[in-house]
Amino acid sequence: MNNIISLIANLDYNNEIRSNPFVHILYSGNQNDLCQMLISVRQILNIFAQQNLQLEINNTKWNKDGITVAGGNFSLDTDDELNQLAHPLGLCLDDDQTIYIADNGNHRIVAWKSNSNTGQIVAGGNQEGSELNQLSWPTDVIIDKQNDSFIISDQINRRVMQWPRQNNTNGQIIISDIDCYGLAMDNDGYLYVSDTEKNEVKRWKIGEENGTVVAGGNGNGNDLNQLNNPTFIFVDRDNSLYVSDSGNHRVIKWTKDAKEGIVVAGGKHMRISLKGLPNPRGVVVDQLGQIYVATGRGHVMGNLSKPLAEPTGLAFDQKGNLYVADSAFGRILKFEINNN
């Protein structure tokens, strides 16, 4: 059976995020002002024909109003208290729904337990610096369950750090001299890191000195074997790599061992705006192959009780609730799945 990719753009005037075979935009109601968008693209690939299974397309929805679950306590005097975040970027969740946040402007990683009013510093937080107990503008964080540690993209220090989850006073450098941004890990424990300077993504075995280029690495450009300022990344269970190719305003998918990628959102294949997806950031993919992308131009979307301003990192919890790092407002929003 041939791969089926539906890329039909529909406007949702109810400001709802829908899960179906089309592209849906979190929309402000003005057709001339697509300021901030959270895009859901259904990519139906290999619909289990060999297993004689039937994939039923559902109409799963998320509530249109996000709930602030971390940060959001803006103050003109300070932004580094434990109930505050300063330009949060990447985030991930543990099995108990604790959120781990790359608190970029505060040079720290913060753990925020469910229903808590404050966070807990689990890495950095000792002012900006390059010592082993410090971070400098971290962009992403993931959990390495095999080694009971955090992996942190410490971008301005040009290093990737491994930080123990217990007795976490200091981290250790596992990759150095890299303009790192996004992080991902596959089921075999391989680490993937996007490099915005070399316009590539490498795969690393933790503890080994050299990584392997798995996307890009052919200079800055918009050909299918190139990237332009890759930011956040995601690896699915088939070890396919999804890259927010920010400078090319697209999301590009690289299957395992591929020599070039496939544009799955934005670029020349989806004219949502003059530049496709304006500066895509966070990207996640669910088990049905549906892609979610945070993107925008830094404006605030109206007509929402909790408007988004510069959405970046994305993550799902085990119940299917969607979490968004709303960077400019210094908060994490939770969009609860609507089962009605």
Q: Label residue 337 by pLDDT band (50, 70, 90).
A: confident
User: Residue 290: what pLDDT?
Assistant: 84
- For 155-189, strand residue ranges (E) read 159-164, 172-176, 180-185
17-21, 150-154, 216-220 — which is least confidently predicted? Answer: 17-21
Strand, helix or coil for residue 13: coil
Can you give the length of the chain in residues? 340
- The residue type of 39 is I
Q: In angstroms, what is the C-alpha Rg of the chain?
A: 19
Q: Up-side HSE of residue 28: CA atoms within 13 Å toward CB?
A: 17
Residue in the block written with tokens 């992308």: 293
CATH code for the part of the protein at 4-338: 2.120.10.30
pLDDT above 90 coverage of the chain, percent:
60
The mean pLDDT of 231-260, rounded to a whole number, is 95
Dump pLDDT digits (tens) for 106-139: 999 999 999 999 999 999 999 999 999 999 999 9
- Average pLDDT score, the chain: 80
Instruction: Output 262 or 14, whichever has higher pLDDT.
Output: 262
| pTM for the full predicted model | 0.82
User: Residue 45: what pLDDT?
Assistant: 32
Instruction: Output 173 or 301, whichever has higher pLDDT.
Output: 173
Dump pLDDT digits (tens) for 54-70: 333 345 677 878 899 99
User: Residue 168: what pLDDT?
Assistant: 77
Q: How far apart are CA 39 and CA 57, in angstroms?
A: 18
Task: Give the β-pairing of 9-12 and 17-19.
Answer: unpaired
- Which of 94-101's residues contact partners 24+ apart within 8 Å by CB, and which partners? 94/143, 95/318, 97/317, 97/318, 99/69, 99/70, 99/315, 99/323, 99/332, 100/141, 100/143, 100/150, 101/70, 101/71, 101/141, 101/313, 101/325, 101/332
- The residue type of 244 is S
User: Residue 244: what pLDDT?
Assistant: 96
User: Residue 7: what pLDDT?
Assistant: 27
Q: How far apart are CA 292 and CA 338, in angstroms?
A: 17
Closest CA to 49 of 102, 107, 11, 4: 4
pLDDT(13) > 80: no
